[in-house]
Amino acid sequence: MSESAIVSQEELQNQFTYMDAVAELIRGRHLRAYTHTFGCQQNEADTERIRGMLHEMGYEMTEEIDKADFILYNTCAVREHAEDRAFGNIGALSHLKKQRPDVIIALCGCMVQQEKNVEKIKKSYPQVKLLFGTHALWRFPSLLYRALTEKKRIFDIGGVDDIAEGLPVLRGHGPKAWLSIMYGCNNFCTYCIVPYVRGRERSRRPEEIEKELRELVAAGYKEITLLGQNVNSYGKDLGLDVDFADLLRRLNAVPGDFWLRFMTSHPKDASPRLFDAMADCKKVAKQLHLPFQSGSDEILRRMNRRYTAESYRALIVDARRKMPGITLSSDIIVGFPGETEADFEQTLALVQDIQFDLLFTFLYSPRSGTPAATYEDPATPQQKQAWFERLLQAQDAIVAQRQAAYQGRTMRLLVDGTAKGPDYPFTARTEGNLLVCVRGENIKIGDFIEATIEKTSLRCLFAVKQ
Ligand code: 5AD
Ligand code: SF4
């Protein structure tokens, strides 16, 4: 186990000194930075920190990769597809690097926290000048300084499971913000690479989280999502007698009009105590993303998930009893090694029983270094694909029904962006996080509005402002 600590003021100060040094180095050159993020919200939050540092150092952000002097890909390792796309994108940049040798191409995130990928990039992707892992993120200013001043390539995937407080952050436009409350994962689900690339669980101190929330609310953010790989085990490492339910209650007491969301939860740690806190806290949105992965107890056992389909059902019954109308979503893996037709039927049965509002379904992707990658896997890709499609079809039918039930309802919405079509020019979210397209007079992004649902489709509700 690696030790976990808060990065000292002295070390952070050192990085701020490097930020000044980079700023000095690039002064007057009007350099531009482009970033692209693969994967989960945690990665998006990490990119916002890097953008914050880049901004602080004097880089201007650009959406046009061809015009960028600094290009960063923040990568994901959860499934092979994400890795392939990252490699494809970097490969395509060799052309740009030839045309403009001064451009700095950087890679960070989960994919480069694995030795085999680092070797591959060293050997076959010479255009990558700077590479740093998830543990080195806070050292970005010194790494960038070296990339700008040294001839050699800079690779840093070392570091322990630290927490760095006080880094600058450049958030996206709009009323939504991420707030990381913890990092890493201790669960070691047998299919998952995350514990290997993001290290052990470490929680930020509650007062730091509250401080950041207050700043976000003061800055006008209306929807704040608390992030962690398994938020339900928040606080276990702090020795402070504070758990996730306590944290929710504390954050709910922060003054202001906003919704709090959180993700991701693990069924083995989600508890009646958590649902009581959610039900009591007015600002905590009545929405729960609770991945169950499989409806078969045998598969769950081999995934090392440490709950059963029955205990999962009981959790949902409790959540719905305490919060009628709560929106539910889940993640499912289809085709885990050794999965049979009968196992799959149990997953389907759970989906039919619970009637989720939204599902994220994934075909199992072997990750080298995880236990499941060595398990026997007799089902054919065709079989797995057929199961996958049956699942999608079943879920589409459920969603169509659930969406139709909103017809005519008047609901509170948060307007969060502009829509493509002219008839309903804005997008919004319900408290349950359902997507809505809205029309009406005097609508502004960032407003909470009351609106009535006029029609529904599979992916969207359509509403008119009251
Ligand atoms: N293959 C397919 N899906 C995976 N997930 C995690 N690891 C894998 C894998 N090896 C899915 C899980 C998790 C979500 C974030 O990604 O469903 O909840
Ligand atoms: Fe991966 Fe399981 Fe941890 Fe989620 S809880 S990040 S699926 S190991």
Per-residue pLDDT tens over the stretch 414-450:
999 999 888 999 999 999 999 999 999 999 999 999 9
Best of 191, 299, 374 for a ligand 1 pocket test (most atoms within 8 Å of beta carbon): 191
Q: Which CATH code, of 3.40.50.300, 3.30.750.200, 3.40.50.1000, 3.40.50.1820, is assigned to 288-405?
A: 3.30.750.200
Tokens, residue 320: 């719905």
The CATH architecture one would assign to domain 410-465 is: Beta Barrel (2.40)
What does the alpha-carbon distance between residue 445 and residue 448 come to, in Å, rounded to a whole number? 9
Cα-to-centroid distance, 185 and ligand 1 (Å): 14
Share the mean pLDDT of the chain. 95
- The 10s digit of each residue's pLDDT in 316-368 is 999 999 999 999 999 999 999 999 999 999 999 999 999 999 999 999 999 99
Q: Which CATH code, of 3.40.1170.10, 3.40.50.12160, 3.40.50.300, 3.30.750.210, is assigned to 174-285?
A: 3.30.750.210
* Sheet containing 287-289, strands listed edge to edge, beginning at the edge strand earlier in sequence: 287-289, 327-334, 358-363
- Residue ranges per structural domain of the chain: 3-156, 174-285, 288-405, 410-465
Q: Is 148 within 8 Å of 25 (Cβ atoms)?
A: yes
305 CB less than 6 Å from ligand 1? no
> Has residue 172 got a pLDDT over 90?
no
331 CB less than 6 Å from ligand 1? yes
- The 10s digit of each residue's pLDDT in 194-252 is 999 999 999 999 999 999 999 999 999 999 999 999 999 999 999 899 999 999 999 99
Cα-to-centroid distance, 432 and ligand 1 (Å): 23
For tokens 């954050």, the residue is: 251
pLDDT given at position 3: 47
Mutual orientation of helices 341-354 and 381-404 as an angle, nearest 10°? 10
Closest atom of ligand 2 to CA, residue 185: 3
309 CB less than 6 Å from ligand 2? no
Rg (CA), the chain: 23
Q: Which residues of 367-381 are buried (b: 16+ CB within 10 A; e: fewer)?
A: beebbbbeeebebee
Q: Which residues of 156-182 are buried (b: 16+ CB within 10 A; e: fewer)?
A: bbebebbbeeebbbbbeebbbbbbbbb
Tell me the CATH class for 3-156: alpha beta
Cα-to-centroid distance, 231 and ligand 2 (Å): 11
How many CB atoms neighbour CB 148 within 10 A?
Answer: 20
Q: Is 50 within 8 Å of 14 (Cβ atoms)?
A: no
Best of 305, 307, 329, 331 for a ligand 1 pocket test (most atoms within 8 Å of beta carbon): 331
In this prediction, residue 1 has a pLDDT band, given cuts at 50, 70 and 90, of very low
- Same CATH topology for 174-285 and 288-405? yes
pLDDT mean over 169-187: 94
> Has residue 6 got a pLDDT over 90?
no
